[in-house]
Amino acid sequence: MSVLECKNLKKKFGKKEVIRGVSFKLEEGDILGFIGPNGAGKTTTIKLILGLQKIDEGTALINGFDIKEDFVKAIERVGTIVENPDMYMYLTGKKNLLLSKNLYKNVTNERIDEVVKLVGLENRINDKVSKYSLGMRQRLGIAQAILHHPNLLILDEPTNGLDPEGIIELRNLLKKLAKEEKIAILISGHNLLELESFCNKVCIIKNGEIIEESTIKELKKNMNDSEYKIEVNNTKKIKKIFKDANIVNDNEFTIKINKEEINDILSKLISNDIKIYSIKQKNISLEDVFIEKTGGNIID
């Protein structure tokens, strides 16, 4: 059984259909990057899953329970941060967690100590939250979200405003939670380079529809075209031979082709008396995949 399964979710605001049959699954230990252009429907989908907005059609099942029909059962093993973590700045981190403890059944003081260690705040947990960096507040927010042993963690844009150190800390923490706590994590974001570094799956949404759901490895493998960097003795003739080539310098150019075209490219170079020194495939990034799948829309 999947931890989270969305089936044909639909949502209208007035006459405008903003979510058009969204379906995807999330399994134990997965970290799913939920990405899409500005206004694609990421946050709305998350709010539908969490019961924060009414689902017009379709179902969201969490641990087999329907969020519409059995909300309490569905939501009891979910932890979430939508936008910024909610906490009292004038209290210590520890007191914030003690207050959060009252929201749940069977959360012990030992569990508080356990999550503090998990998020790496042992040395600062007795400081006031107002003295925390944004990254530390984000980690405290995650500590709050996992107090009750959830097996699903949903984070909406958690890296917003974080400095590079904070992003690295968050990345390492999420990987640790997925591996050690067996938590399935759904994370929306716009920093594709970061998401690629810790997500094992990706779901791309555009205009309220899922246009791709796959592992990142499979997604890259199925890219139609790849960019190749070719080193030659001289690039003066290259633009005349290949209109789509991009000249890097006097001895290198790049071109987007598929594997089947490599022989033709090399043959044309040889027939034009151009010496070939090397040809290398550029590593395909999640950003490359995103641009190909969405047409290069700006991400919010």
- Structure token digits, residue 95: 């007191």
d(CA 23, CA 118): 32
Convert the pLDDT of each residue in 165-186 to its tens digit: 888 888 899 999 999 889 999 9
Element (H, E) at 276: strand 276-281
| pLDDT number for residue 226 | 75
pLDDT tens digits for 71-109?
A: 999 999 999 987 667 789 999 999 999 999 998 888 999
Instruction: Give yes or no for residue 286 having a pLDDT over 80.
Output: no
Give the pLDDT score at 299. Answer: 44
Q: Is the distance from CB of 125 to CB of 116 less than 8 angstroms? A: yes
220: amino acid identity, one letter = K
pLDDT at 224: 55
* Calpha distance 167→24 (Å, rounded): 26
Centre a 10 Å sphere on the Cβ of residue 145 and count the other Cβ atoms it contains.
21
% of the chain at pLDDT higher than 90: 63
Read off the pLDDT of residues 32-61 as tens digits, 9 standing for 90 and up.
999 888 888 999 999 999 999 999 999 999
Q: pLDDT tens across 140-161, in order?
A: 999 999 999 999 999 988 877 7
Stretch 247-273: mean pLDDT: 91
